[in-house]
Each structure stands twice: as C-alpha cells, then as structure tokens.
Structure 1
Amino acid sequence: MMKWIPVALALLLSACSSTPSKTYYQLPALGATTQVSEAPASRQLWLEHVSVADFLAQSGVVYQTNDVQYVIAQNNLWASPLDQQLQQTLVSNLSGALPGWVVSSQPMSSDQDVLNVTISGFHGRYDGKAIIRGEWVLNHQGQLLKRPFSLELQQEEDGYDALIRTLAQGWQQEALAIAAQATRF
C-alpha cells in the first residue's frame, strides 16, 4: 500500500502542472495616429454604441470549426469585453482617418454626427480566414446612412496571435470605409 503513495502523488502533481494557462488578447489600434490641431474641429462624430452578437459577447475568442459550428475558447480570452475593445479602437482609427474631426465615445453637442455599429461576426474560421461582419448606421443632421460590411481576410500565420492581428487589420480597414462615407455627407 505504501509503494502506491508516491505514484499517486506523482500523478496528482503532473495533473496540476498540465493545466493550460490562459492567454489574454487586446486589439491593437493599428497605424492610428491622432492628429493634434490648434484649429477648431470642423465636425464632430459621436460613436454612440458598438454592439456584438451574443456569441461574441463571451470572454473567449470565437473560432468557427465548420460551416455550422462555433467554439468559444476557454484559454484564449479577450483582455476586456470585445464590444469595448471594438469601440475604443474604432474611435482611435476614425480619429486618425478623419483629420479635422473630433471623434469621441461620449456625446459632445447637439450638432454632431452619430455612429452606431452592430457586429455579427468577429472570429476566426477553419479555412484560415478572419471574419468581420455587421452593419453601421451614421446619422448626419437627420439623414441616415446604413451600410452592411463583410470582410474575409486571410491570416498570414496560424494561431490566435495571428488571428487577433488579422481581425485588428480588418477592423481598421472597416474604419477607413466608414470614414470615407462620413466625409461624403
């Protein structure tokens, strides 16, 4: 009986040490440079809300394993809620893309454009692509502009790090598309 104690203890210790560690991810604001200007801003944009689909609102990074199945990672997690990260990086990216504008996640005045974004896809897929889908609505002095978006970007490498970088690149790409439409009003 005594000779089994060291074996049991070794098994217990090896089981404890094989617990996978958790990794946390934050979206980088790629190439976003906020321009500082002494002149008053000509336009204001309030990013009122970014909402994500329920399956994306979990703490785990989402990965699509086939055409109908999704997995929410247990050990590869968002460092802060995804909707907050998307809003913060969108404000940063739009600020860089719209010189002369003040872009904020807080209301500023009654004479501001208002942007709302709904995300229905922000995940990796089994074929090595990062998927970004949704729609945005821009309100400019009572005129509404609504646009859907759907991006499928090929990852450069395998793994969650590459997935997060590719998602960030796609999110920046969509910010540039929003900025281009906003300037046409």
Structure 2
Amino acid sequence: MMKWTIATLALLLSACSSQPQVSYYQLPSASAAKSSSAAIAVNSGKQLWIESVTVADFLSGTGIAYQTSNVKYTIANNNLWGSSLEQQLKQALTDNLNAQLNGWVVSAQPIGGSSDVDVLRVTVNGFHGRYDGYAVVNGYWILQHGNQIVRRPFDIEMPLQKDGYDELVHALANAWQQEAIQIAKALKN
C-alpha cells in the first residue's frame, strides 16, 4: 500500500512540475512588402518618418491579448510575442508603406537633410482576438504635413478562418496591412 501511495504522489508531483509549451509569434512579412536588396534612387523628395507606433497598456506586455467578453480581456501566458508588439507594428508599417508608396522614402528613423518630411504617429488601442471569432485592430493615426494635421481613426474586424494563435496572428497582420494601404492612399491624395 505504501508503494502505491509513494508512486501516486511521485506521479502527481511530476505532473505538476511539467511546464506547458511556450510559443513565440512574429508578424509575418507581407509578400508585397518584400523588396530586393538593391538601392533605389528616389528623386521625388517625398519622405515619411513613422515617428511612433504606440499600443494600449494591455497590449504592451509579451502575451497575445484575447477578448473573452464585451468587457473582459485575457493575456496569454504561453503564446507570446517574439519581440515587442510596438516594434513589430512599426517595422511592418514601414515595410508595407514602402511597398505601397513608390517614389517615397519611408523610414522608422528620423530623416535628415530636408524640412519637407511628413510625420506619422499611430496609436493602437486594439490588436487582439475576440470571442466571436474576429481579429480586431483599431486606433487612430495622425499625419503631419507642414502645418497641416490629419487625424483618422481605424477599426478593422477580420474573421478568423480557423481556431488557433497562428491564424489569429496572420489575421492581425492582414488587418494591419489593410490599414497601411489606407494610410498610403491618404498620403497619395
């Protein structure tokens, strides 16, 4: 009897000590944003500095956020961003806008040598999955062109085709790319 008790206790302790697998996610590069490594000469003088992409506090941690009801959110413990979400969003936006804006120089760093630089600031209030099977991306952006300032909200809900964090991350990346297309259209006008 004592052997069975010790064996059961050992089994329970080993089950408690096993750690769930942790997965790390990066936003995928959009195929349209991929470019050759060759330098491109730009003579148009059109320049855009993406000064900042900031996220709401609940998105600033390492865990992927998920909305479980209309008022409740949870942050994943085992499904984490591979690098800061702000950093990933800024890089993806830079890549996507470079792909959309032929003849422009789009940079995540300050552009020197010209006073005619458009400045973009983005605030992301939602970048998460939702209980009804949608990826949600919302917030607003502010574009400064000289003395002109344009502020536009965005709110994208993209249905998930299947369950899982892989699908959620792809849907969030697609929604972010859609917003980059809208920003590019605004810049072209």
Short-chain TM bin: over 0.9
Q: Deviations over 1:115-162 (max 9, x none)?
A: 000001100000100000000011112211110000011011111110
**Is 2:46 the partner of 1:40?**
no
**Is 2:110 the partner of 1:107?**
yes
Q: Structure 1 residues 39 and 57 mapped into 2: Cα distance closer, same or farther (>3 Å)? A: closer
Q: Structure 1 residues 51 and 39 mapped into 2: Cα distance closer, same or farther (>3 Å)? A: closer
Indicate the residue corresponding to 1:168 in structure 2: 173
For 2:7 and 2:158, locate their aligned partners in 1 and report how far apart those are by CA, in whole Å: 52
Structure 1 residue 12, shift from structure 2 partner: 1.6
On the 8 A contact 2:42/2:105 being kept in 1, the answer is no
TM-score (norm. length: structure 2) = 0.91
For 1:9 and 1:89, locate their aligned partners in 2 and report how far apart those are by CA, in whole Å: 48
In the alignment of these two chains, the number of paired residues is: 183
**Is 2:89 the partner of 1:86?**
yes
Structure 1 residue 39, shift from structure 2 partner: 4.2
On the 8 A contact 1:138/1:144 being kept in 2, the answer is yes
* Equivalent AA in structure 2 for residue 42 of structure 1: G
For 2:42 and 2:72, locate their aligned partners in 1 and report how far apart those are by CA, in whole Å: 52
Q: Structure 1 residues 39 and 178 mapped into 2: Cα distance closer, same or farther (>3 Å)? A: closer
Indicate the residue corresponding to 2:9 in structure 1: 8
For 1:38 and 1:104, locate their aligned partners in 2 and report how far apart those are by CA, in whole Å: 15
Structure 1 residue 180, shift from structure 2 partner: 0.4
Q: Structure 1 residues 39 and 101 mapped into 2: Cα distance closer, same or farther (>3 Å)? A: closer
On the 8 A contact 1:29/1:172 being kept in 2, the answer is no
Structure 1 residue 98, shift from structure 2 partner: 0.5
**Is 2:58 the partner of 1:60?**
no
TM-score (norm. length: structure 1) = 0.93
Q: Percent identity?
A: 50
